[in-house]
Homo-oligomer: A and B are copies of this chain.
């Protein structure tokens, strides 16, 4: 009892790397899961890794790649991006403190084969910076929009761009931000139709959802 039973078949079948959420797991539990995946020739991402977990795992898996801002440790090889120059995912984020979540989404989507364009620091307080980059943002097939505090950015972008839009509330803020709950509820309550939302700080989930939608366009 205690090992992580991996669903290897499924991951291989659909090109999604196995993703292990590190908090609350011991290094031993994570390591055992990673070994099982390596035996199966299957890529794996460990998310929300903390410095001490990272150090221990890098020692055990020297070939692992670490994405420090995204707090991800990756093993194996992701699906190669299928195309060149067109489409993909635009990830727009509001503030400097939202970057780790945006990067988590980006790295996850890239490991699933998507091309990702990053648009950091485009919060609604500086609307001209956002509108200036609108044409670039629109070149994607899917949008991920990351914001904390009042979570207004998805509503603003959703009114400007007619693409599938996944909103990611973050726990950035204090007081009435209620550790991201306010942004989550605000994104849910958006006056713009067609926005969908993932859990607070859930960059991985947004990356997976966007990569799946993106493939629809690629495969067609």
Contact = CB atoms under 8 A, between A and B. Distances in A.
A186 B123 CA distance: 14
Contact of A191 (B124, B155, B206): B124
A178 B174 contact: no
Interface in A181-220: 181-202, 204-206, 208-209, 212-213, 216-220
Interface string A129-172: 10000000000011000000111100110111011111001011
B197 A198 contact: yes
Contacts of A10: 126, 162
Which of A162, A176, A202 counts the most chain B CB atoms within 10 A? Answer: A176
Interface residues of A, number: 92
A76 interface: no
A209 B195 contact: yes
Contact of A14 (B152, B158, B162, B217): B162
A81 interface: no
B97 A24 contact: yes
B193 A204 contact: yes
Contact of A193 (B1, B19, B24, B165): B19
A99 interface: yes
B195 A175 contact: no
Nearest to A188: B176
A58 interface: no
A125 B158 contact: yes
CB-based closest 5 A-B pairs: A220-B220, A175-B200, A152-B152, A196-B196, A176-B188
14 contacts: A124-B156, A124-B159, A124-B192, A127-B159, A164-B212, A174-B200, A174-B201, A175-B189, A176-B199, A196-B196, A196-B205, A196-B209, A213-B216, A217-B220
